[in-house]
Amino acid sequence: MAWRTRKVFGTAILAAFLATALLAGYLQKVHAAPAQKDDQAGRPSNLPPAGSQDKPALSTTEKDQVDLAVTVYNSNLALVRDVRQIHLSPGVFPLHFEDVAASINPATVHFRSLSEPAKLSVVEQNYEYDLLDAQKLLQKYVGREVGFNWNGVEMTGLLLADNNGPIWKVNNQIITGLPVGTFHFPELPDNLYSRPTLVWMLDNRGANAQKVEASYLTANMSWKADYVLTVTRDEKAADLDGWVTLTNNSGVAYGNAKLQLVAGEIHQVAPAVQMESMAQSIRVTGAAPVPQFTQEGFSEYHLYSLERRTSIQNNESKQISLLNGTGVPVEKYLMVEGQAYYYRNPQGIGNAIPQPVKVYYRFKNEEKGGLGLPLPAGTVRVYQADSKGGVQFVGEDSIQHTPKDETLKIYIGNAFDVVCDRKQTDYKKLANGLYEMEYEIALRNHKDGPVTVEVREPVGGDWEVMNSNFKPIKLDSTTIGFQVPVEKDGAATLTYRVRVKW
């Protein structure tokens, strides 16, 4: 027995000796290791900035704003420039920049001092979007004591887990499904934020009070143009009113902001998500509003600047007057477009095939016509005066970005009182790859006045018109055009024959 005791005691001494030797060797290696490369302040580069962990974080909110500018693109994108007058600490310290967009792209954030740009720099940047709510607050307290109300009795329990429901340890018992009314948390965790926040580690070598600017891109902001074209009773002139429909779902409001809009196709690496517009149809009555935007060319785009400041609430869709033109000359015309199958048309089985007669308004975006401004892409809603002095909605169409001095064509629907039938009356194969075909387009006019219908017929291959009873016009390599007048309560039939080589 004594022998065994001496053996265990000796083993323990040997183990202690080996542990001491290993520790000494480790310390010797640490002292012998080369020093870490120092930063400019003479501190090892792998350590946090001097004093940064000891200084409390400063916060700035929208109350510190002295200027705010928002540039919105028509591609679900906006540029925000937020200028604030804030108080800073000397040296390295953290700053919480609150009241930023929830849809911010953190990679686009740029921070600078407008007062002393050379003396304030960013050491580190974080975007905190783990926002405070009841469920996340409970999850942050896993492993900690939480007060709660249980059947009217105030108690304290250890929150063991919160996976598909909280699990508690109360009075040395494990409890699930605790029917509590309220929780009582002693404090808010540092890693939960009540709103999206940019957190910077700043190095300030300048004044304590400075004016700073944060700029960033955010998604979920967009705009589009809406137009109201009010045509006179005689359909010779019209008034055009343009509106901007601005939609903000970025997660933050922009108060008293300078607003600019960019019209054009901005290239982005990731395709923009198309957002469903919440805009409603705009109906204008009374005098036209005074345009509030000025326009200028900007790179390959057009920039529209609102001449006053405005506030844009979150989850808001608002309209602002863009332009108005009075007495714009317009032309109404009717068109029939043949089947785009290069003469491989559906068969009518002995019957003519009805064709829609489309109705268009055409006008030129020129200064002498009351316009002459670049028109952003949007929707044109057309109204026309009736015999009682009111105006009625007659149709709508979308337009693309339209520079000045270009012509706009607005398709409003199909004619009611002008009808068209189309049929193929002959088909011959003259040789391999050589054919002749003949067509008949019948038009009937039931209106109170004469009309002229433009007929456009598609044709493929190498073609020529052999004969026709109305003058053919070669509109392009695959289209023949005809102008067919039809008298009041009358009818007209277009016939033509083509030879096609494929």
Q: Which CATH number fits the domain that encloses residue 140?
A: 2.30.30
User: Do 238 and 309 fall within a single domain?
Assistant: yes
- 139 and 116 co-located in one domain: no
Q: What is the CATH classification number for the domain harbouring 453?
A: 2.60.40
Name every residue whose Cβ is closer than 8 Å to that of residue 495 and which is 6 or more positions away in sequence: 425, 438, 439, 440, 441, 468, 469
Is residue 404 domain-resident?
yes
The Cα angle at residue 303 between residues 326 and 241, in degrees rounded to 5: 20
241 belongs to a structural domain: yes
pTM of the shown model:
0.68
Whether 378 is covered by a domain: the verdict is: yes
- Residue 355 belongs to a domain: no
Does 141 share its domain with 199? no
Residue 24, domain member (yes or no): no
Do 124 and 201 contact (CB within 8 A), yes or no? yes
Contacts of 155 (CB under 8 A, 6+ apart): 147, 148, 149, 170
d(CA 442, CA 452): 13
Is the same domain home to 67 and 145? Answer: no
Separation between Cα atoms, residue 220 and residue 251, nearest integer Å = 8
Residues 396 and 312 in one domain: yes
Q: Do residues 102 and 202 both lie within one domain? A: yes
Host domain of residue 292: 220-266+279-332+362-408
Structure tokens at 368: 């002498």
Whether 320 and 434 share a structural domain: no
Q: In a 10 Å sphere around its CB, with 0-12 CB exposed, 13-18 middle and 19+ buried, how is residue 439 labelled?
A: buried
Same domain? 262 vs 398: yes
Is the domain of 170 the same as that of 291? Answer: no
Task: Specify the number of domains making up the chain.
Answer: 4
Q: Which pLDDT does position 194 carry in this prediction? A: 54
Do the domain assignments include residue 33? no
Same domain, 169 and 283: no
Q: Please report whether residue 74 resides in a domain.
A: yes
Local confidence pLDDT in tens for the 502 residues of the chain: 444 444 433 443 333 333 333 333 433 433 443 444 444 444 444 444 544 556 778 989 999 999 999 999 988 899 999 999 999 999 999 998 988 888 888 889 999 999 999 999 999 988 765 444 566 666 666 778 777 776 777 778 787 777 777 777 777 778 776 656 677 666 666 654 556 788 889 999 999 999 999 999 999 999 999 999 999 999 999 999 999 999 999 989 999 999 999 987 666 665 444 333 333 333 344 444 555 788 887 777 888 899 899 999 999 999 898 888 999 999 999 999 987 665 555 566 778 889 999 999 999 999 988 898 889 999 999 999 888 888 999 999 999 999 999 999 999 999 999 999 999 899 999 999 999 999 999 999 999 999 999 999 998 889 999 999 999 999 999 999 999 999 999 999 999 999 999 8
Tell me: do 171 and 251 sit in the same domain.
no
Residue with tokens 């916060």: 59
Do 294 and 203 fall into the same domain? no
Domain-embedded: residue 39? no
The reported pLDDT for the residue numbered 40 is 42
Report the pLDDT value the prediction gives residue 74, as an integer from 0 to 100: 82
Distance of CA 330 to the CA centre of its chain: 33
Long-range contacts from 137-142, C-beta under 8 angstroms, 24+ separation: 137/185, 137/188, 137/189, 137/192, 138/162, 138/166, 138/183, 140/189, 140/191, 140/192, 141/185, 141/189
